[in-house]
Amino acid sequence: MRTIFNIVSLVFFSHLSTGWALDIALPEMGDSAGALISPREEQEIGQAFFWRLQQSADLVEDPEVNSYIQSLGYRLASNSDAPNLNYTFFVVSDPTVNAFATPGGYVGVNSGLILTAANEDELASVMSHEIAHITQRHILRSFENSKRMTIPRTAAMIAAALLGAADPKAGSAAIMAVQAGSIQSQIDYTRANEAEADNLGMQTLVRSGFNPEAMPSFFEKLQKASRFYGGDAIPEFLRTHPVTTSRIADARGRAAQLKVKPRLSDHEQFYLVKEKLRVMMAQNSQDLIKYYQQQLTEDKSENKDALKYGYVLALIKSAQYTLARQHLMPLIDKEPDRLAYQLALADIELSVGRVNAALDIYEDNQRLYPDDRALTLNEVHALLITGRPDRAAKLLQTQIELGEIGRQVYKLMAQAKGDMGQKSESHAWLAEFYYQSGLLEAAADQLHLAAEAAGHNEYQLSKIASRLREVESAMSEMENK
């Protein structure tokens, strides 16, 4: 009998050639559904989805953006009903307003949603809502009314629903093929799930020190925007997370009953990350510069420093380094310990060829922010440019030991080891990069190359053989779907 993982993989990987829409928002996963699937199988479904997503969508790789979204996500998750689950938070480079959650603790946020959120509380409200979908295992609960369905049939329904997030027509067709007449009941369950996610998400917000009123106010903002712009402009988040006037009113009523216990939080970082994303997403640098010039002339908000920072990044993007420095230095004089400003200054130094000056900035800030991921990865890039791979490898190894892993870290480690002449280890680390990216065959190929380069190093050969067995086992699961 096919496993749940294999059935879901069949749906995921048989559609490799169809493309993957970025407006992903899933029907969601409760405790009573645990009889249908084990935590391990749930994790495998999420991993398969994330592998496929990485191959089909542009994920934001910027370490500052990722560090911020992960920090915010872990803060919320630690105050959720399931703080011990393994969570993965990431940003999809897509202008649509959307967020989504999958089995296994994967929470994605589109860059468009971050740019639309007025403040950190609004962003946190959406993320806490998605975390609640995970803790309550809403995807399986959507199907638990079908008591007569076998586990494989239930898994097929889950896979069809996941596929529907990427291609609504294909998803609906697949669901109908598995069980006719189930769509209406699924919608009904989704409404119940949404209300539960609102309630639990709001509690998570309060425990995390955020304003629960942000959730209904943000949903109301999106709802009003969709009315103004018309049906085709409805934010994808509202298409997949239907919001009614009564639901907003209910959420607002619950928020009024919850007492906020504010916690220390660097809200300014949200605005800086938002402007960095704006610059990263912009296609025309000159239009971007004009935007900031106009905003700085008209804007009288408290976040003017963030706008100035965005303007600096826009100038760097258009190679106007002298002007960028002139506008950056007043920000640094005002907040010399603000890491985002220091990293921007280092970017300018690197861009004009002053690599050692950039390294000095990184080293100075390591004393204030030891082992910060964004700082470390930027420093690693500079070290590799200047031919100091041994120092780069040590910094990366510390990140790995701290649990700050990911395909970006693995790829840099592969480069560092290669520059050090350690070919076997370079191939082995590149294998980890491919594995994290869902490219299992490429990972296996790199491990074979690592074994060839290991010579008679029995310890290295043993490690490679063990890892190769794990990779080939995962490949076998895929092939035997």
Task: State pLDDT tens for residues 223-280.
Answer: 877 665 555 556 667 766 777 777 788 888 888 888 777 666 668 999 999 999 999 9
pLDDT value of residue 265? 64
User: How large is the average pLDDT for residues 453-481?
Assistant: 89
> 3-class DSSP state for residue 35?
helix
Catalytic residue (choose from 94, 122, 196, 198):
198
> 3-class DSSP state for residue 110?
strand
User: How large is the average pLDDT for residues 454-480?
Assistant: 90
Which residue, 372, 360, 439, is CA-closest to 52? 439
List, edge to edge, every strand of the sheet that includes 88-92. 88-92, 106-110, 99-102
Q: What percent of the chain has a predicted confidence (pLDDT) above 70?
A: 76
Q: Round to the nearest angstrom and report the end-to-end CA distance of the chain.
A: 10
User: Side chain identity at 160, as an amino acid letter?
Assistant: A
- What does the alpha-carbon distance between residue 481 and residue 425 come to, in Å, rounded to a whole number? 32
pLDDT value of residue 391? 97
- What does the alpha-carbon distance between residue 477 and residue 481 come to, in Å, rounded to a whole number? 6
Does the predicted model carry a pTM greater than 0.85?
Answer: no
Per-residue pLDDT of 20-36, as tens digits, reads 333 333 334 344 555 55
Q: Around Cβ 470, how many Cβ atoms within 10 Å? A: 12
Which residue, 15, 192, 194, 172, is CA-closest to 101? 194
Which is more confident, 142 or 298?
298
CB 175 within 8 A of CB 157: yes
What are the binding residues?
129, 133, 194
CB 233 within 8 A of CB 223: no
Tell me which range, 200-204, 283-287, 299-303, 314-318, is most confidently predicted by mean pLDDT: 314-318
User: How large is the average pLDDT for residues 300-304?
Assistant: 79
pLDDT value of residue 202? 92
Write down the mean pLDDT value for the chain: 82
- What does the alpha-carbon distance between residue 216 and residue 128 come to, in Å, rounded to a whole number? 13
pLDDT value of residue 327? 98
Residue 92 φ/ψ, nearest 5 degrees: -95, 130
> 3-class DSSP state for residue 338?
coil
Residue 89 φ/ψ, nearest 5 degrees: -110, 135
What is the H or E stretch that residue 107 is in? strand 106-110
CB 15 within 8 A of CB 178: no
User: How large is the average pLDDT for residues 156-166?
Assistant: 47
Catalytic residue (choose from 94, 130, 275, 347):
130
pLDDT value of residue 303? 87
Q: What percent of the chain has a predicted confidence (pLDDT) above 90?
A: 58
CA angle 280, 113, 381 (to 5 degrees): 30
- What does the alpha-carbon distance between residue 304 and residue 315 come to, in Å, rounded to a whole number? 17
| From 41-55, 134-148, 208-222, the region with the lowest mean pLDDT | 134-148
Would you place residue 480 in the very low, low, confident or very high pLDDT band (cuts 50, 70, 90)? low
- What does the alpha-carbon distance between residue 47 and residue 41 come to, in Å, rounded to a whole number? 10
Q: What is the signed CA dihedral for 83, 248, 124, 433, rounded to 10 degrees?
A: 80
Give the length of the chain: 481
Helices (H), 299-439: 304-317, 321-334, 339-351, 355-368, 373-385, 389-401, 407-419, 423-436
CB 135 within 8 A of CB 62: no
Q: Around Cβ 242, how many Cβ atoms within 10 Å? A: 12
| From 112-121, 293-302, 438-447, 464-473, the region with the lowest mean pLDDT | 293-302
Which is more confident, 51 or 72?
72
What are the binding residues for Zn(2+)?
129, 133, 194
Which residue, 425, 335, 437, is CA-closest to 54? 437
Indicate if the pLDDT at residue 146 is higher than 90.
no
Catalytic (active site) residue 130: yes
User: How large is the average pLDDT for residues 79-104?
Assistant: 91
Residue 107 φ/ψ, nearest 5 degrees: -125, 120
Bridge partner residues of 90 (DSSP)? 108
Q: Which domains does the chain have, with CATH numbers?
A: 4-257 (no CATH), 267-479 (1.25.40.10)
> 3-class DSSP state for residue 388?
coil
pLDDT value of residue 145? 53
Which residue, 90, 270, 160, 226, is CA-closest to 100? 90
Would you place residue 174 in the very low, low, confident or very high pLDDT band (cuts 50, 70, 90)? very low
Per-residue pLDDT of 35-64, as tens digits, reads 556 787 778 777 877 887 888 789 999 999
